[in-house]
Amino acid sequence: MIVNLTRPMLVFDDLHKSFGDIRALDGCSFQVRPGKMLGFLGPNGAGKTTAMRAVFGLIRPDSGQVLWEGRPVEKDTATRFGYMPEQRGLYPKMRLHDLLVYMGRLHGMSKGDAAASADSWLERLGLAERATDRVEALSHGNQQRVQLAAALVHDPDVMILDEPFSGLDPIAVDTMSGILREAAAQGKAVVFSSHQLDLVEDLCEEVAIINQGRVVVEGDVKQLKEASPYRRLEIDFDGDIGDLAGALDGVHDLVSFNGHHQLTIDANTDIRQFLARAQETGHLRTFSYTAPSLSDLFREAVR
Amino acid sequence: MRNLGLVALREMREGLRSKTFLITTLVTMGLVAAIILLPQMLGGGTQNHTVGLVGDGSAEIVDTAVRLGNAADEDGEEPSVAIETREYASRDEGVTALQEGEVEALVVDGEEVVLRNIGIMGSGVTGLLQQAAAARSLEEVLEEHGQVAAVVIETLTSDPLRVTTPDGDADEEGGQRWIVAQAGMFLLYMAILIYGSWILTGVTEEKSSRVVEVLLSAVHPWQLLGGKVLGIGGLGLAQFIITIIVALAAVNYTGIEIPALEPVLLGNLVLWFILGFLVFAVLFGAAGSLASRTEDAQGVAMPMSMIAVAGLFISFAALENPEGTVAVVGSLVPFTAPFVVPVRVALDAIPWWQYALSVGLAILGIVIFVRIAGRIYSGALLRFGTRTKFRDAWRSADL
Ligand SMILES: Nc1ncnc2c1ncn2[C@@H]1O[C@H](COP(=O)(O)OP(=O)(O)O)[C@@H](O)[C@H]1O
Ligand SMILES: [Mg+2]
């Protein structure tokens, strides 16, 4: 099968949703492409959870829709979706294996397939020995793993994960990252929200940044960075930085600490003269000239 | 439909494996058996007494007392009364024995009964002895006229008055139907309260554990609610059948006759049991979705419990006056019909068209309640935090 990687598969199409006076979604549009993991970013209350809930019909948008392969998502097609809600929760009294089988079957699997998949997930998450333990007997971290397995036990084509990394220890973060990477590599559409921008930068090819219910930045991370009108210039320099920076055009920001200086400058500023001058007027030990980080893009976008 | 079945199956499986189910089953079985068997153990069997005798005429009174007490017994049964006697030479000797607890009463010269203290006056044996003494005097009088003692005793223990009601003879069959209808009503009431609250806490637990969001991403709210009602209803029915089997076994053991039920009456009871359970189960489910924590759940469900109590009271009114306005209206309202209609059927006091209408309205009611409850359920399930108001849940229903 040839997967057309550029064909958008999951489309958030101009979603609007108000709760009383609160506009949770105000024209939220973006696309998730199979095989390209998308990081869904935004400050608290921006509308991430509301948008994700709209996929599953957990909230009904006032207008707009979520399309999957060109058709509105229904409960019946939702069996190909996996959802990890922000509000985690499992049946505390159920045994792990039973719970995963139940989740698999609710998503359309046969009993045998669900049991096999539950086994392999428990194995993979290192919980095989605890298959008959009750959920409530597990540590917080292990409950999180089971939550992930519950979302993915039916091998969904689309994964929607609301802050999957929050509250995870570094080992669990690695497990989670591995699972998501693998899923994207298999051509699945993966979208997750997170406040851990370094992680997003590591994992995601694409991002969508939402602010006040509206997606303000969307696209390929690398291209977004390239397209940024700013660059980041960092130098370790002993000398008069004020004098030096004053001679440079288009400096937007300067942060200095202990001989280390961060400058935000226009992308088209020529820095060759600046570097030459730095070497003349003081001691320039290191320098780096980079596109802005995802954090920079984020701050810029939601300012 | 598949998901509905899966939800129901999960409820049954988990329910069967839970300690609560095991414990409530054992407790209800024990309670029912105890309620049926205890009166037999305490009151049934033989009343044993020990009575002291002094002087002439005392032994005859005790003999008569035993004959009187056992006159209504059937052949082969254990006697109802057995009196052991001890003879004493004088009143003083007898009184000493009485005070030492050897006997519970002392009959002196066929003329006096001495008790340890007045507190046990009217204890079984005193009354029996009084009756016996009276019967003996009567015997003496009648013997002078040539009558025999056996006739006196038979006359004294017969029920010469015919008992009737304004409707005619209080025939035994009617009485049994009435008892069955009453029992069915109480069973329904119990089932509503017990299994209704299972549904209530089950729904609230799904909400408080937050598992509901994952579930609703794959399942419609009505499937989740309906599956729960069916699953827990099925479990409840199983527990109920077990309890009834235990009850029947216990009744059989006591030797009490079980009224033979006409199949139509039984079918009617089962039909209304199921209808009544469904009406209330759906409402309890909706109520459970309004609460966020288990502690709040009972409060939210208060109105439902009150409605069930009201149904019970209206059915009492229907017993008094089975064709009155209260009874007719009660038969047509889906909440109260399950309590009222079986009573009226048992009393043969409901026209067929009212019966058909009440069944139709109850079914219609269930269909409507499922929709209303589904809407409340979906509006409330994703609102965590405080207790959701009915109105807010209704308005924000999204699913
Ligand atoms: N069920 C709800 N009722 C009322 N307000 C809500 C509800 N869900 C979300 N909101 C509000 O909508 C806004 C967006 O919330 P949310 O989507 O949870 O943001 P995020 O996930 O990006 O933090 C917030 O202001 C939030 O308070
Ligand atoms: Mg959120």
Total number of domains in chain B: 2
Residue B179 distance to chain A (closest CA, Å):
42
Check whether A1 has a pLDDT greater than 50. no
Nearest to B347 by CA among B323, B368, B328, B312: B323
Task: Tell me whether residue B119 is exposed, middle or buried, using C-beta atoms within 10 angstroms of its C-beta: 0 to 12, 13 to 18, 19 or more.
Answer: exposed
Between CA A170 and CA A168 the distance in angstroms is 6
Please judge whether B10 and A102 are an interchain contact, meaning their C-beta atoms are less than 8 angstroms apart.
Answer: yes
Confidence of residue B75 (pLDDT cuts 50, 70, 90): low
Of A20-34, A142-156, A190-204, B192-206, the poorest mean pLDDT is in B192-206
pLDDT, position A301: 87
User: How large is the average pLDDT for residues B118-135?
Assistant: 71
Residue of A22, A44, A55, A86 to test ligand 1 pocket, by largest number of atoms within 8 Å of CB? A22
* Predicted confidence (pLDDT) per residue in B207-225, tens digit: 888 898 899 889 888 888 8
Residue B381 distance to chain A (closest CA, Å):
10
Check whether A247 has a pLDDT greater than 80. no
Establish whether residue A44 lines the binding site of ligand 1, counting it when its CB lies within 6 angstroms of any ligand atom. yes
From B100, B122, B155, give the residue that closes a domain. Answer: B155
- Residue B40 included in any domain: no
Confidence of residue B173 (pLDDT cuts 50, 70, 90): low
DSSP lists the bridge partners of residue A209 as A41, A217
Q: Looking at residue B64, which CATH number applies to its domain?
A: 3.40.190.10
Between CA B152 and CA B138 the distance in angstroms is 8
Is the CB of residue B215 less than 8 Å from the CB of residue A58?
no
Assess whether B68 and B214 both reside in one domain.
no
* Predicted confidence (pLDDT) per residue in B37-50, tens digit: 776 666 556 778 88
∠ CA A7-A10-A16 to the nearest 5 degrees?
130
pLDDT, position A202: 92
- Residue B270 included in any domain: yes
- Residue B275 included in any domain: yes
Instruction: Decide: helix, strand or coil at residue A38.
Output: strand
Percentage of chain A beyond pLDDT 70 is: 97
To the nearest 10°, the Cα dihedral for A274, A276, A280, A282? Answer: 60
Assess whether B72 and B10 both reside in one domain.
no
Assess whether B190 and B240 both reside in one domain.
yes
Of A134-148, A287-301, B256-270, B275-289, the poorest mean pLDDT is in B256-270
The CA A192 to ligand 1 mean position distance, Å, reads: 17
Could you tell me the CA-to-CA distances from A177 to A1, A69, A203, A219, B137 in Å, in that order?
A: 26, 26, 7, 21, 104
From B126, B155, B184, give the residue that closes a domain. Answer: B155
Percentage of chain B beyond pLDDT 70 is: 80
Nearest to B316 by CA among B359, B270, B271, B347: B347
Q: Which residue, chain included where needed, has tokens 């017993």? A: B319
User: How large is the average pLDDT for residues B217-246?
Assistant: 86
Assess whether B212 and B339 both reside in one domain.
yes
Average pLDDT of every residue of chain A:
89
Longest dimension (CA), chain A: 75
The encoded tokens of residue A10 equal: 């999951």
> For ligand 2, a single-atom ion, which residues have Cβ within 5 Å?
A 48-49, 86
Assess whether B262 and B354 both reside in one domain.
yes
| Residue among B11, B204, B213 with most chain A CBs within 10 A, to mutate | B213
In sequence order, which ranges of chain A are alpha helices (DSSP H)?
48-55, 96-106, 111-124, 140-152, 170-185, 197-203, 221-227, 241-246, 272-281, 294-302
pLDDT, position A200: 94
- Residue B25 included in any domain: yes
User: Position B21: which residue type?
Assistant: F
User: How large is the average pLDDT for residues A190-195?
Assistant: 96
User: How large is the average pLDDT for residues B88-109?
Assistant: 88
Between CA A29 and CA A26 the distance in angstroms is 9
Assess whether B50 and B25 both reside in one domain.
no
Confidence of residue B134 (pLDDT cuts 50, 70, 90): confident
- Which range of residues forms the domain containing residue B148? 46-155
pLDDT, position A15: 95
Distance of CA B259 to the CA centre of its chain: 15
DSSP lists the bridge partners of residue B82 as B48
Please judge whether A107 and B218 are an interchain contact, meaning their C-beta atoms are less than 8 angstroms apart.
Answer: yes
Check whether B121 has a pLDDT greater than 50. no
The encoded tokens of residue B357 equal: 């209408």
Confidence of residue A5 (pLDDT cuts 50, 70, 90): very low
- Residue B76 included in any domain: yes
pTM of the model: 0.77
Check whether A120 has a pLDDT greater than 90. yes
* Predicted confidence (pLDDT) per residue in B353-377, tens digit: 999 999 999 999 888 888 787 777 7
User: Which structural domains are found in chain A, ordered by start?
Assistant: 10-225 (3.40.50.300), 228-302 (3.30.70.100)
* Predicted confidence (pLDDT) per residue in A133-161, tens digit: 999 999 988 898 999 999 999 999 999 99
Ligand lying closest to the C-alpha of residue A41: 1
Helix (H) or strand (E) holding B83: strand B81-88
The CA A215 to ligand 2 mean position distance, Å, reads: 15
- Residue B166 included in any domain: no
Of A67-81, B112-126, B152-166, B358-372, the poorest mean pLDDT is in B152-166
Is the CB of residue A238 less than 8 Å from the CB of residue A278?
no
Is the CB of residue A17 less than 8 Å from the CB of residue A62?
yes
- Residue B303 included in any domain: yes
